[in-house]
Every structure is written in C-alpha cells, then in structure tokens.
Structure 1
Amino acid sequence: MPRTNRRTVLQGIGLGGAASLAGCASETAPSATDTTMQQQTTTKTTTDRVAADPTDIPDPIDRSEPKTVSRTLRAEEVTAEIEDGVTFDYMTYDGQIPGPMIRVRRGDTVDLTFENPEENTMPHNVDFHACYGPGGGADATTVPPGESARLRFKATYPGAFIYHCAVPNMDTHISAGMFGIILVEPEDGLPAVDHEFYVGQHELYTDKRAGESGHHAFDTEAMRREEPSYVLMNGEKYALTPDGRGPMTVETGDTARVYFVTGGPNLTSSFHPIGNVWKELYPKGSLTSRTQKYIETTPVRPGTATVATMDFPVPGGVKLVDHSLTRVARKGCMAVIAAEGEEKPDVFDPEPDQ
C-alpha cells in the first residue's frame, strides 16, 4: 500500500475541492471527525491543566531590523477537567488553551514547523490570519497523525490576529481548543506597560449539562443549535480566578495590556472589565488605527483578537467577563486581575461613614 502523506490526506478530507473553498465540510453526512468525536468516551485525565498561563508571553520586540523567527506548534489531543469531576477530550496547540502566543515584528519571516504526533487520532493544521497565502497556511500544514509540515511566510501587516485549526469540521476543532494569537508588532513597537496578559474565550458543546459529573463527549447537534454547555476563558471553568488556577496579579499604580482572542466558534464576546474600563483600546486588534479611550465594553467576534490597556488606581479584583452575563454566572466565563496595594479613599471609599 502507498504511504500516507499530506497529499493523500488533503484528497481524503476534501481540501482543494468544494470543502476547501467553503471553509467547512459538507452538511449532508457526518465526517470521520464527527464520528470520532461522538465515539470518544475516555475518562482518563491525561493532563492536569489545559488553561494557558496568561503571563507566558514572548518579550516585546526590541530590534529595528526584521529577522526569521522559527517556531514549532504541536497538535495535542488531551483529556482534562473542565471543572472538578468533569472531563473532556480537548484538541490543543502545545497542550494549552489558547495556543502559545507567537510574537514577531512587521517584516519578519515566520518559519513554522507544525507537528501532528502519532498518538493523535485526527488530521490538524494551522490557519494564520496574519498570513497571505491559501488558507492562511492551512493547506500547506494539513497533516495526519505521525507527520509534520513546514511553512514559511512573511508578516507583512501589523496587528493581533487569531490562528486556528481549519480542517473540515473546523468548528469542532476550534471549539475543542485549537486557536491562539499571533502578534505582529509595528516597526516602532508598542508602548511600554508593567504587565501583559493573554486570554482566550471559546465555547464547549457537550452531551451533558454544565457541572454534571463524569466524562462529557462533544455534542455536534448542540453546536449546530449554538447552545454550549460551557463558555470559557483559557479552556477551564473560572480558570484564572481565586477559585481556579489563581488570578493574574498587579500592584496599584501598575499598567497592564491584555491580549484577548475569541476562538468561538460561534459566540461574540462582549468583553468587559468589571470595576474598570479599557483605558486604551485597539479595536479588532488593529495596532495602526486610532485607539479608543475609556471604553467600558468591546465586542470581540469569533475569529478576532483585540488589545486593550488598563490602569489600577485602587486595590481589588477586576473581573474580565463576557457581558452576556449568563455565560459568566452559569457557564464559567470569567478571569480576574487582582490589584494589591494601599486603599485610596479619595478614588474609591467602600465605607465612607466609618
């Protein structure tokens, strides 16, 4: 029998034909990906954490000339807990949600190696919204388990952009965790801040209600109805909070920049910091358009990133939420930045009569 390679996989899953042009698989029959997801019933937790560390961000670019930046992304299918006692079969880049931030400068060349380990069950790829080229590189990086691909592209335009898996049934792969940010800094860089944080929102469609113990399988019909069991930041229920993995932390007087991406695949986030505002907002991730000042809530649609800065004049927790608040109260969509420092009653006084 002939050896399986990227060309035969492309033919087998329909890339290069109607499915590729439409950006999705046919609705007339379930694909191999749908069937695989429906049959997965494993209950073994294979990783302790899928929530990306929000502080694990490459350093700002401090050079004035372009260079070639080499990166490797690895597709990892893992089982982990959404919340205590509830497991799910995630699909990730490098075992985390969102996938690792890739940071380059305008004019840089990205030299990407994409790996799909042999232990995986499905083809995967990467579509970079920062890339000129067929499928944003998706066609060139589609590989079956046990193979890898290499791609080079020039980052010709600045901004914060999503990358995501784009095989047929891409909605399933993105929902299960395959998305992240590639940041292309402008030639002059970004203003200095004290902290940078990285957060990604997506929804999970499972065959059980949120909180029901046991293993949750992916529910394609719930996804068709756009009725998720969970809406999450960084892949786990309340992951970046005191009751989860712990909040992000700053000191009063600090400044912070938040990089935020909505993987979706379907829901628009009304991104809002409770107890604060976005002091400076880069709408839709544009780093060259005019910024907006003191914005309370900004829509971040699926397939879009945004960048926003904050000040912390007083101590306390700033809750980052989707202001479609049922998603916060019932489906797990919240992260916290905890500011520590002295009270400033001239700015905020919770007990003025004492």
Structure 2
Amino acid sequence: MPKFINPALVKTNRRNVLRGSLLAGAAAMTAGAGMAGTPSKRMAPHVAPRPAAPKFILAEAEAQVAAPKVDLSGYTRVRQELVAPPFAPAHEQVATGGPKIVEIRMETKEVLLTVDEDTGASIWALTYNGSVPGPLIIVHQDDYVELTLANPADSQMEHNIDFHASSGALGGGGLTHVYPGEETVLRFKATRPGVFTYHCAPGGAMIPYHVTHGMNGTLMVLPRDGLKDAEGNPLRYDTIAYIGEQDFYLPMDENGDYKTYEVAGEDFSDSVEAMRTLTPTHSVFNGSVGALTGENAFKAKVGDTVLMIHNQANRDTRPHLIGGHGDYVWENGKFANPPQKDQETWFIRGGSAGAAMYTFLQPGVYAYVNHNLIEAALLGATAHFVVDGAWDNALMEQVMPPHVVET
C-alpha cells in the first residue's frame, strides 16, 4: 500500500510550501482547477506538486521575519495537560496573576472510528489527540497559547490547524503545515474572550474533507475576571460539558451498505462525492451515536451549574436541553457580549462554538439534542444528563397518573 506522502516530494516542496498550501489550494479552486491533479482512491490529492504560494503569502512571511520580536521575558510559562472530551482541562475560572504563556501539545492521529455500532458504520477519523472533537483548550484573555503540533511519521496525510481565536496567517493555518514525521510550534495571543472553533485546513477540497472527518475542536478564552451576567455580576459553574457536534458523510455502495477502507485518505474520492450532496449520513455528538448516552451520559446533581460548550465546525445547529433551559446563553460564543437569559433553544452557526449555563433544578434524565429532531432521533445528535437529587413538586407534579376514562 503506497504512502500518501512522498518523502522526496516533501523535501523538494518544503521551502516552497511557506505554510501556504491552504491558499494555494484555494487559489486553484478559484481558478476552476479544484486541486492539482486528479486523485485516485489510493492516493491523496496533495501528492501532486503544489502551485507556488500566492504573492501576499510570501509578503506575509517576509513581514513576519522582519517584524520585531516580542519580549516575553516577563511572562510565566505554564503547561496545560489536555484531556479527552467531553471533559475539560484543569483551569481557573478567574485568573490569578498576569497573563501567561500556556504551553500545550497536540498530535494529529488518523484513527478508525466506529460511528454507529448498530449499522457497522465507520470512518478513518482525522483527529487531534485521537478524539472527535479535539480536546478543549482553556486560557484567559491576553494569555499566549503556545502549541506544539506533531504529525507522527506513520501518518498518511499532511495536517495543520486554524484557530478562529487568533489573528493573522489564516488563523495559524498558514504557519502550521506538518508532514508525517514533523512538528511545529505556533504561538498567538488570545485577545478576544469567548469560545472558538479550531480545525484542520490543508487546502482546497481537503479542508471540508478533514473537517468532516472529525478534525476540529474548541478553544475557550475566559475573561481574566471570569464570566459575568449582563449587569456585571459574576457567574460560576461547577463543571463543563464539552460537546462537539460532527456531521459525517459516509460513502455507501450500490446496495446501500457503508463502505470500508484500509487506510486514512483512501476514501477521498468517495467522500467528496458524498459531501457534495450536503446531506450527512450521521450528525452525532462526540464522534459516534450514543457517545454521550447510557454509561457515557453526563452526571450531575440538583443544584449543580453546568457550562455546556457546543462546537459545530461545519453546519448550523440548534441545541436544546429537554426539561431544562439556558439560564445564560452566549449564542455567538463571545464573552465580551452580555449573555441572553432563559433560552429554550439556541443557535450555533456552522464554523463556531457557543456556550450555555444551566443550574439543574430537578432530578432525572435530561436529553440534550439538536432540535432539528430528525437529526436528533435519526442521525444521532443526542446526549443525556443524568441528575441525582430530590424532586420538587412545587416545580412540577403529576396530579393524576394516566388512567382509563369510561365513556
């Protein structure tokens, strides 16, 4: 089985890439070429020689080299240990001390993921740290994020990362292209508070291909003095529920069965054809049907306040907590704006993240769904919160149980 990356080509193209293959691919698409070369099912499209980087990318790179270096000698360095979703890394809700340099490390991993055990649907997921979505990163406003991004030598594909929270160089995507066996370090200042999408964006049709294969996640930038309501009163949460909604477009054969592939990238041509329908075969939370239900359901107690972070890197969605509400909702995900109150359903635009805070008032099972109920019930976009505690009849009471009515 041939590798999708030609090591000789890597060396030849390395200094021409200029971390700008995203725009090179985009320029080719704009010109109607789509991508250089016609990929087969056994060869990823970026094997073909890239066109030269656009002039403005060259100018941007030259400007960065010429720019004065930032003096970071007064900053404290801290290491954030990332954890697998749906959990959040250890963090302070209110920052102590001045801005810091927060060091994190992520490794791109291409893993065979079962999307639905009942149907046997699977995909070669493209991931950060092996999970769909990628891990939640948490810093405070004016901190620096310093990411080491590594692509293992046994990977099939080129990867990078675009942080919607950052400024310049395509969100860092233009500076982070890594081939198998390479790693790079990117540092940027988190200037805007909120929750933001990050995702892979190698170039051309590979951008939606990587995003719809799971290569996306969320960065939360907290205000240094913590979250607040519209009047400036502090808001605190007991825990975070991190939800990444993922649309998958799994190719099928002539019998309607899901196809299988031996390695990552082999499904490229079939996936592009499936993606063009704009009709997902699955819309799931955290990578697979039932990933956040049953034994994997969120656990809470009456009185707990949960911050629900919801990311959708590609399609619009409308989260709803059945039996609960959004006490405070940052629908656009940006904490500099006052939160909305008492929302029943909120709207997350494709390519963004949002946040909602709720204090549970009753025990029981709460279903957290995409309130396009077709996607929730038929495509998999459902999670559960299992809440312990005492029932409050003042809030809800079954006055009379169901019974037969004589006519």
Is the TM value for this pair above 0.5? yes
Aligned counterparts, 1:214-229, within 5 A: 215=260, 217=267, 219-229=271-281
> Partner of 1:308 in structure 2?
356
Pair 1:269-2:317 in alignment? yes
SS in 2 for 1:269: coil
Choose from 109, 121, 125 the match for 1:86: 121
Letter of the aligned partner of 1:186 in structure 2? P
Q: Deviation per CA, 1:229-284, whole angstroms, max 9, x where unpaired? A: 10011011121001xx52001011211111111122xx210111111111100121
Structure 1 pair 152–13 and aligned structure 2 pair: CA distance change class (3 A): closer
Q: Is the 8 A contact 2:319 2:348 kept in 1?
A: yes
Deviation track 1:291-315 (CA, whole Å, cap 9, x = no partner) reads: 1001111111111110100121111
SS in 1 for 2:170: helix
Whether contact under 8 Å (1:129, 1:161) holds in the other structure is yes
1:41 match: none
C-alpha distance after superposition, 1:21-42 (max 9, x if no partner)? 979995377765976479xxxx
**How is 1:285-300 mapped onto 2 (pairs within 5 angstroms)?**
285-300=333-348
* Match 1:174 to one of 206, 211, 216: 211
Change (3 A) 1:5 1:322: farther
Change (3 A) 1:204 1:31: farther
Superposition deviation, residue 57 in structure 1 = 3.2
The CA distance in 2 between the partners of 1:24 and 1:325, in whole Å, is 39
Q: Which whole-Å CA distance do the structure 1 matches of 2:36 and 2:166 have between them?
A: 32
Contact 1:106 1:156 in 2 (8 A): yes
1:5–1:143 Cα contact (<8 Å) kept: no
Give 2:396's aligned residue: 348
Q: Which residue does 1:137 correspond to in 2? A: 172
Q: Give the Å deviation of 1:80.
A: 2.1
Cα 1:339–1:2 change in 2 (3 A) is closer
Residue 77 (1) aligns with residue 110 (2): yes
* Shift of residue 15, structure 1, vs aligned partner: 3.9
Alpha-carbon offset, residue 141 of structure 1: 0.4
Instruction: Give the aligned partner of residue 297 of structure 2.
Output: 247
Aligned residue in 2 for 1:146? 181
Separation in structure 2 between the aligned mates of residue 161 and residue 73 of structure 1, nearest angstrom:
17
Structure showing greater Rg: 2
**8 Å Cα contact 2:162-2:199 kept in structure 1:** yes
- Distance, in Å, in 2 between the alignment partners of 1:5 and 1:319 is 53
| Contact 2:161–2:173, Cα closer than 8 Å, also in 1 | yes
Matches of 2:186 and 2:14, distance apart in 1: 15
Task: Give the Cα–Cα distance (whole angstroms) in 1 for the partners of residues 392 and 158 of structure 2.
Answer: 55
Q: Does 1:107 align with 2:142?
A: yes
Structure 1: segments with no counterpart, 5+ residues: 39-50
Instruction: Give yes or no for the alignment of 1:230 onto 2:282.
Output: yes
- Rounded to whole Å, the distance in 2 between the matches of 1:335 and 1:37 is 35
Identity %: 31
More off after superposition, 145-154 vs 27-36: 27-36
- Please state if 1:124 is matched with 2:169: no
- Structure 1 vs Structure 2 CA RMSD: 2.9
Higher strand share: 1
Is the alpha carbon distance of 1:121 and 1:343 closer, same or farther for their aligned partners in structure 2, counting shifts above 3 Å?
Answer: same
| Counterparts of 2:132 and 2:216, CA distance in 1 | 7
2:67 alignment partner in structure 1:
none
Cα pair distance change 1:215/1:53, threshold 3 Å: same
2:308 corresponds to 1:258: yes
Question: What do residues 149-172 of structure 1 show as CA deviations (whole Å, max 9, x unaligned)?
Answer: 111111111111111001122111
TM-score after normalising by structure 1: 0.86
Residue identity opposite 2:281 in structure 1: S
Give the paired residue count: 337
Alignment deviations for residues 136-190 of structure 1 (CA, whole Å, 9 cap, x no partner): 1011101111111111111111111111001122111011111111111112123
1:199 CA drift (Å)? 0.5
Mark the CA change 1:223 to 1:30 in structure 2 (over 3 Å): closer, same or farther: farther
1-structure distance, mates of 2:30, 2:380 = 29
Q: TM-score, normalised by structure 2?
A: 0.76
Q: CA deviation at 1:86?
A: 2.9
Paired AA for residue 173 in structure 1: H
Matched, 1:56 2:69: no
The residue type paired with residue 348 of structure 1 is M
How far, CA to CA, are the matches of 1:298 and 1:17 in structure 2? 37
Match of 1:208 in 2: 252
Change in 2 beyond 3 A, CA 1:14/1:239: same
Q: Secondary structure at the match of 1:17?
A: helix
User: Which moved further from structure 2: 80-89 or 96-105?
Assistant: 80-89
- Conserved? CA contact 1:68–1:108, under 8 Å: yes
